[in-house]
Amino acid sequence: MFKAADILVPIDFSACSLNAVRVAVSLAAPDGDLTLLHVIDEGFVREAAAAELGTTDEITARLREQAEANFVGALGEIETGGVEVERMIVVGVPFVEILKIARDLDLPMVVMGVRGRSTPAEEMLFGSTAEKVLRGTRVPVLCVPF
């Protein structure tokens, strides 16, 4: 089986992205490192602020707190063995941030779910984050289909 020492795993806490974490753990085991990346979508934050749900700073802070809690809950259910897991939360356009972090950290592989929290209509009209990452990266991307 293929093994990779360092892997970037974008995570939106959907079932598919959690399965991608499990796959990445199996690829990185026993001594690899995973970087789990959650991107707070700046477009969503702007829309929520425009709908008067709070200021952009308040909304971002709430989403960051929620992501931290989700990391604790999600990682508690996944056996990581000897794999080191680093968590990152950034704000931006999801596919752009994934590409930027993979490049900046010089990570040799990305493992991600093909289905996140977007609706099928959004994916048809705009393309999925996974597709945009596939088109924009120069490292192997393993897309987990379930």
AA identity, residue 48: A
pLDDT at position 75: 82
The DSSP 8-state label assigned to residue 41 in this structure reads: E
Domain CATH code at residue 56: 3.40.50.620
Q: Residue 1 falls within a domain, yes or no? A: no
Which residues form the domain of 98?
6-144
Between vectors from CA 44 to CA 91 and to CA 62, what angle results, nearest 5°?
A: 65
64-82 pLDDT, tens digit per residue, is 999 999 999 988 888 888 8
Tens-digit pLDDT profile for residues 7-34? 999 999 999 999 999 999 999 978 889 9
The pLDDT tens digits of the residues spanning 125-142 come to 445 899 999 999 999 999
How many structural domains are present in the chain? 1
Q: What is the pTM of this model?
A: 0.89
Q: Is there a domain that residue 76 lies in?
A: yes
CA 123 and chain centroid, separation: 17
